[in-house]
Amino acid sequence: MRIDPHTHSSCSDGTDAPAQLMAAAARAGLDVVGLTDHDTTEGWVQAAAAVADTGVTLLRGAEISCSSDGVTLHLLAYLFDPGYTPLAEALAHARNSRSTRTRRMVELLSADFPIGWDDVLAQATDAATIGRPHIADALVAAGAFPDRSAAFAGPLATGSPYYVPHWALDPVEACELVRAAGGVPVAAHPRATGRQRRLMPDETFARMAQAGLAALEVDHRDHNPAQREQARALAQRLGLGMSGASDYHGAGKPNRLGENLMPLELLDRIVSEGSLPLLAP
């Protein structure tokens, strides 16, 4: 079984519409794909409609923005009830806060780069979650940078004077909310240092484990071999499962579908603990 449980569509910062993502998953030879857009379940219906045609099974999820003490963490959540109000409200709050701060960043950037808010909106046609990746696309379209990665290495970096933070859930509270919504939480790329200098401390992962965290994403391209080893050791110490995924963003990142996979036994556990079924052809 080829299971890639962490991907993004154009409903957040991927470039494939959900149905295109399902078709790309079929071409990549995947049996199961997890759609995990940032802070939104907007793409679920469109992706579900493509299951029969593509023959790919859909694992419904989202990637929830969290932060604690200025350190950010992404929490993957699977098979939760999207109508559970406390979680739905937290996701809406995160989307709104991200969008407000994205406007503020564009105001700051427009003093030095040839972009305005309309240029960013033009890069986010069906995105429910607007963020830095869309600013990056606007900067690329304006010819200021060759690609997203270059824009992220420059003015969009967290240490840059143009960077503005946004509100995000506390990671322990997020685990509780996901479980309360009938879902299963998995920490995304917990040891990736490319995005920020400080990492979430082990003690926070221990509290997340108490709050229902099911697994850590170990195999991810943002982890080098030493970081994979650290993530594996932490998962073992806390009695957590281990996942792997591509974090595919279409043309937005070099990540390729299926480059890392989730073991079947973890998927089985997520399905048995989650409140929604997989959507199979």
Q: What is the distance between the alpha carbons of residues 25 and 164, in angstroms, rounded to a whole number?
A: 34
Assess contact for 217 and 192: CB atoms under 8 A: no
Using DSSP, state whether 64 is helix, strand or coil: strand
Q: What mask of x and - would describe binding to Zn ion in positions 39 to 78, judged by CB under 5 A?
A: ------------------------x---------------
Q: State the minimum distance, in angstroms, from the CB of residue 234 to ligand AMP.
A: 22
**Residue 223 touches which member of Fe ion, Zn ion, ligand AMP, none, C-beta under 5-8 Å by kind:** none
Q: Report yes or no: 126 and 116 within 8 Å, Cβ to Cβ.
A: no
Given 20, 97, 100, 149, the residue binding ligand AMP (CB under 6 A): 149
What whole-number distance in Å separates Cα of residue 153 and Cα of residue 15? Answer: 20
Give the torsion through C-alpha atoms of 63, 99, 250, 159, to 10 deg: -90
Contacts (CB under 6 A) with ligand AMP, residues 160-189: none
**By CB under 5 A, residue 247 contacts Zn ion:** yes
**In this structure, which amino acid lies at residue 241?**
G
CB of 3 to Zn ion, least distance (A): 16
Choice from 44, 152, 162, 248 touching ligand AMP (CB under 6 A): 152
Site for ligand AMP (CB under 6 A): which residue of 4, 5, 9, 13?
13
Footprint of Fe ion on this chain (CB under 5 A)?
Answer: 13, 74, 188
To ligand AMP, the closest distance from the beta carbon of 137 in angstroms equals 10
Nearest-angstrom CA–CA distance, 140 and 143: 5
Nearest to 213 by CA among 172, 180, 247, 246: 172
**Which residues bind to ligand AMP, rule: CB under 6 A?**
13, 38, 65, 98, 131-133, 148-149, 152, 195, 249, 253
